[in-house]
Amino acid sequence: MNLDGKTILITGATGSFGTAFMRTVLERYDVASIRAFSRDELKQSELHSKIPDDRIRLLLGDVRDLDRLRVATRGVDVVVHAAALKQVPACEYNPFEAIQTNVLGAQNVVSASIDNDVPLTIALSTDKAVNPANLYGATKLCAEKIVAQAGAYASGTAARFASVRYGNVVGSRGSVIPIFRQQAETGLITITDERMTRFWITLEEAVEFVLSSMSLVTGGETFVPKIPSMRITDIAEALAPDAERRIVGIRPGEKLHEVLLTEDESRHSRDIGDRYVITAHRVGLRPAPEDDRGEPLPDGFRYASDTNEQWLSAEDVRRMAAALPPARRAGDRRDRVGDD
């Protein structure tokens, strides 16, 4: 999708994804403006210092505030919804807050886009939304459903909606790779369970996936990239081969393996080359039009991190770790897909 001359709004703009997304778009396209929507004035000030581009408009606001979103989306061509409360323990301890931001916030973004006839709204989701084992995943599942069904509320408008769903972001704040590097210096690293596997995507790949999905949206889809898996033990071996390993056990809300596409979803999904598309599965009087892109998936197909055909090597992990900027070599070990 050509973004030249477009006005873009990104929620959660000061997070890892939002910052990387804006850098890429500003370098590649002659956009009219990017409205950076977030609630933290300090992070916005830091963003201005990092990306001093006069096409960026800093908008203070919270996705919980529908009136503010209605103002922010006036005249916008594309909304990228990346705002979320995403730390699993924090969401478990503060469930009302997680629901207000992740669920009601998604509803507010959809409502504001419909009210202002925004042509395209694309929301970021996560593999944690699939068969969720924690509140964070449950809220992102709700958000996906809201976005997928948004077309039912947008009849007679130009508004289209879709989600992208992917796994752990290697370059986001709080990645396990910086944690293992930091722990390696002490000679001791902690592993929750040696059987654990995860999907991996770099921050740059996540940005490219969102951008490339924009031109594919017809309405209500969820796009899933074909990305590699990694064993937690291989990460430890790559980054701290001589360190002692301490098994601390799986924490509440964690899974051994993650799933990006379930057997039930695969019945209305298509393989379109470098990604899968979960087609609109609308509930209402008129069914969604048949999607004939790509190929249908085999019966019972399941896209999971432990049965994936693509795997990262130890050398891949070392290369990713070496590419991380120093600012990302701290934090807790939670990779997520947005920022509030």
| Catalytic residue numbers, as ranges | 128
Q: For residue 47, which of 79, 15, 73 has the smallest C-alpha distance?
A: 15
> Which residues have C-beta within 8 Å of that of residue 44, sequence separation ≥ 6?
13, 14, 36, 38, 58, 60
What token pair was written down for 173?
Answer: 């704040």
CA dist list (Å): 81 to 120, 126, 163, 168: 11, 13, 9, 17
d(CA 223, CA 201): 14
Strand partners, 58: 36
Does residue 11 contact residue 58 with C-beta atoms inside 8 Å? no
Q: What is the largest CA-CA distance in the chain?
A: 62
Q: Give the C-alpha distances (Å, rounded to integers) separating 314 from 146, 180, 238.
A: 39, 14, 5
69 token code pair:
């979103």
